[in-house]
Structures are given as C-alpha cells and as structure tokens.
Structure 1
C-alpha cells in the first residue's frame, strides 16, 4: 500500500519554494506521494508539476480541482503538462465542489453536479488519452479543432474523484480510475464506499478502482490538545452535507472523530484498518496541526509503513 502526505505551505513566504522543500523532506522520510489541495490560491496542477520535477522520488497529485468554474480542455492542458513535467508521476483529482464556493466564488449556479461530473470525466478522458475529443453534452462541449495533445504525456493521466455519495461513486466507478475520499473512516469505506464503487466499476467492465483515503492524522503524545486543535480546524467540513454524512457513517459525530491521533502504535494500527477496509493508498493530511516535531515524527512513521 502506498503512503503519502498532503503538503500545505500556503502560509510560507514563498509557497512554491516551501512546497519543494517539504517534498524533499517527505521523500527523505520514505513517503511515496505528495498531494496538493486546490482553493482560490496556488494552481494545484502547476504546483504539483514543479514539485514533482524537483523531487523525482515522489508521485504527485491534485486533490482536488472542482469541475465547476473549469472546462475539460483547460484542465486537460494543465494535467498533461504536469504529467510531462513529472515523466508520468502525476495524478489528477477532481471534485464536485460545494454550493457555497461555487455560487459565491464563481457566481455559477450549483446545478446538476453529477451530470456535470459525468460529462467532464467523459470529455477529459478522451482529451488526456488521445489529445482530441468530439464531445457534445447537455452541459459541456469539448471538440477542439486542433490537437490538444501535450508531447511527453502520451500515456494519459490517472483521473480520480473526491467521491463519497452514491451517485458520485457510481459515476466514478464507471468513468474514473479511482476516488479520493476525505473524512471517511474505515467503517464508511468498508460498508458503503468501497462496495458501491467496485460494483459500479465491475458493471461497467472496468478494473478495480484505486481508493486513495485522505486521512487527517498526527503522531503525538499530547492527544487531547491535538484533538482539540483538529476539532477547530475541521469544523468547517461539518457544515457540508456530504462530509457530515460520511462522518456519521464512520461512527463519528464531529469531523475530528475520524482523525487519527496518537502514538506510533496507535496510528500504525489505524492505517492498517484503512488498508483492511479497502484503501489502496493512505494520504495523511493536517500533519502540521501539532507543530514541527510531531509532523516530523508522523512522517517518520508513515515512511516506515510505506517501506
């Protein structure tokens, strides 16, 4: 099982420089992948391309680019460029986004998100694999009159979706290469997410999808203080129905209830639970909430598990 970390250097003086530095440290610790979120700040595919080129020991990924406010042609250009820059080590994550961010940030109505996701994935797969497309959907058109191929990215780009609900899981199983569930504990994965995803993929005649579980986690001795900090940091997600639902399915009440916090033995056991629940990869997020020493301690353990 691959083990990686999400890197967040948005508070640094220079986010690109700091991300490269963190990626080198992650690789030295034995981690296998580094992932970058997408908000309204740094361009995640571009950041992943730079970091992946500077640190060839890591696979890099985006988690995740919202499909609202983007077009498959533009995202394909970004993803193929990142794939060429990293010589095949880039993984593109897509997300539905949220009503709040879509409507307040982009001024777009958050309507028919699953239909948009399906059309986006269909067009994007054609573009990233062949450099061309002739897609005319209800919501999107992608039919470039000239080639959209990026030399060096001929093998395509793995497409993952931040999917956890039944409809998104069905679309991802049929059209994507895997998923990026966040705040979904082992119980939610094993009982709800993995069965729905694999059934959809099997019905479509596709191989078993990847399940890259994004897990807030820290190795620390100060469990109570770190969990209190995690509760504060993760409270935002409790306002979003999809996250609130998956936390409940995981047996939690607050988002921080699914955070993995404890000593090395505790955290290693929880990582194994994710593997046993069907996760093919585990990516730790929020490893900086307890300070530098605990972050390094967390990465050291994850590097051992990756080995």
Structure 2
C-alpha cells in the first residue's frame, strides 16, 4: 500500500498558495508516494499543482476531489491536461459528485440523477483525456471538440471517482481507474467497496482498480481525547447522507471512530489492516492536538512509507 499525504485541511483553513506548495515539497522530501488536495471554493487545486509541479520532481499530485457539477467535462479536461504538462505527467485526477446540500446552495442547480450525471460526465471526460477528441451527446453532458493541438507531452492522467454506493462503484471500476475514499474503514472496503469495484473493472476488461483510502490519523497517548476532537472538527460529515451510510456500515458513530488513532504500534497495525482490506493507497489526513502529535504522526507515516505495508 502506497502512503501519501492529504493536505486538504490546509485548504479548509485558508492556507496560501505558497504554503500548499511547500507542504507538497515537504511530503516529497519525506519520502511519500503521493500528495492530495480537495477542491473547495478557492484555490483552484489544478492551478496549485501546476505550480507545485515545478517545485517537485517525483511525487504524484492527486485531486481529492474536483466536484463535477461546477465544471463542464471539456473544461476540466483542458485544465487537467495543462496541469499534467506542467507537472511532468504526475497528476491523478480524482472527481466526485459532492453533495446535494453543497451543490444546490453554491450554484443553484438541482442535484438530480447523480448516477446518470456521472456516467455521462465520464463519457465526455474520458474520451477528451485519453483520445484528445470527443463527440458525445447525452441528456445531461455532451461534448464535441479536438484537444490534440497543444499540451502534446501530457499523457492522460489516471482518473479516480469518489464512490461509495453500488452504482457509483460500478462507474469507478468500469469507466475509470478506481476510487478515492473518505471515512471508509477496512470493514467497508473489504466487504463492499473492493468486491464491487473489482467486479466492475473485470467486466469492463480494465486493469485492477486503485482504492485510495482517506482517514484522519494521529499518533498519540491520549486516543479518546483525540477521537473526541476529531468528532467535533468533522461533525458535518455525520450530517451528510452518503457519509452517514459509510459510518454506519463501519459500525461507527462519528468520524473519530473510524480515524486511525493510537500509539505508534496501533497505528502501524491499523494501516496494515487497510492494506489487507484491499486499499492500494492511503492518503493520510494528519491530525494532532499538539506539535508533538503531529511530529510523531509524520514520523510513523514516513517509516511505514519507507518500509511498505
């Protein structure tokens, strides 16, 4: 299982472009395989990666995730291919539906037919990225264009879809390269996500899909206190239906219950359990209530990344 760092908490707290780039540079220096950022209102994550690509040389740069409703798939393809050229073909493009409450509040568009929306979005985006030419007509998303005239050194970035339910997992395995998760623990991955994803990929004749698991993680000697703080900071996820379903499937009351929290050995054991469940990657959202906890967490993650799980 490859170990990466998810810096989305910095986006949520208003970090500058320079701070985000420095965070990615540090992740590469510390030996991590990948670096992930979520797209919120601002900054534009693909623009961040165009800059970070010039400051790094090896680390994979992944979006976790870009919401589909806000960008036409042709526009996203143009942005992704430009960023891919800028970062030397190290981009992985993670996309997702986001949530009804967020979409309808932000852009005043009805959140309807989400599975059909994603299937048509992938049809346009997939051809635009892989073939550089697209002629697709759908009920929700259509596109006809030629993207072959520039960014010629850019390869099609791997495409991941945030997915939790059966229909979305079918699309992630059948039309994309896998899924990127948030708050899904080993029970959910092994029992629901991995089997459905791999079956869809096999049926479509695609290679084995990636499963990028994302969880809060903290090395601490006060686990109950840290879990309580995580529950408070991430309380909004318990109110979103899709995440509520994931937490219930894991037998968890809140995000703190699925977080990887404990001493160094307990954290190593939990990471090994994720790998055993079928996760191919772990995108760590580092958490701490003190500088010592952050340092201890980074040290264990770097140790596991170097050793492999």
Q: Same fold (TM over 0.5)?
A: yes
Residues 193, 13 of structure 1: CA spacing in aligned structure 2 closer, same or farther, 3 A cutoff? Answer: closer
| Superposed counterparts of 1:27-66, under 5 Å | 27-66=28-67
Which residue in the other structure is 1:178 paired with? 178
- Count how many residue pairs are aligned between Structure 1 and Structure 2: 305
The secondary structure found in structure 1 opposite 2:58 is coil
Give CA-to-partner distance per residue, 1:200-238, whole Å, 9 cap, x none: 111111111000101111112232221111010121111
> Residue by residue, what CA displacement relative to the aligned partner does 1:229-282 show, whole Å, maximum 9, x if unpaired?
101012111111111111111121212110011111111100000000000001
Using the alignment, how far apart are the partners of 2:95 and 2:289 within structure 1?
29
TM-score (norm 2): 0.94
Per the alignment, in what secondary structure is the counterpart of residue 200 of structure 2? helix
Which blocks of at least 5 consecutive residues in structure 1 are unaligned? none
Pick closer, same or farther for the CA change 1:11–1:114 going to 2, 3 Å.
closer
Which residue of structure 2 aligns with residue 213 of structure 1? 213
Q: Label 1:143 to 1:13 Cα distance change in 2 as closer, same or farther (>3 A).
A: closer
The 5 A counterparts of 1:18-33 are 18-33=19-34
Match of 1:259 in 2: 259
**TM superposition score normalised by structure 1:** 0.95
Q: Distance in 2 between matches of 1:192 and 1:11?
A: 30
Summarize deviations over 1:69-102 as a string: whole Å, max 9, x none.
Answer: 2101110011111111111111000001111111
Secondary structure, counterpart of 2:71 in structure 1: coil
Query: What is the match of residue 293 of structure 2?
Result: 294
Deviation, 1:48, is 2.2
Give the equivalent residue in structure 1 for 2:85.
Answer: 84
Contact 2:6 2:284 (8 Å CA) reproduced: yes
- Note the 1:133-148 alignment, pairs <5 A: 133-144=134-145, 147=148
Deviation at residue 28 of structure 1 after TM alignment: 2.5
Q: Say whether residues 1:303 and 2:302 are aligned partners.
A: yes
Deviates more, 1:8-17 or 1:254-263: 8-17
**Contact 1:238 / 1:255 at 8 angstroms: preserved in 2?**
yes
3-state SS, counterpart of residue 207 of structure 1 = coil
Q: How does 1:49-128 map to 2 (within 5 A)?
A: 49-128=50-129
Query: CA 1:149–1:72 in 2, change beyond 3 Å: closer, same or farther?
Result: farther
Say if 2:238 is the partner of 1:242: no
The answer for the alignment partner of 2:189 in structure 1 is: 189
- 1:13 CA displacement: 7.5
Distance 2:160 2:200 in 1: 15
Q: Structure 2, unaligned stretches of length 5 or more?
A: none
Structure 1 residue 10, shift from structure 2 partner: 3.3
Q: Which SS does the other structure have where 2:300 is aligned?
A: helix
More divergent stretch after superposition (125-134 vs 103-112): 125-134
SS in structure 2 at match of 1:9: helix
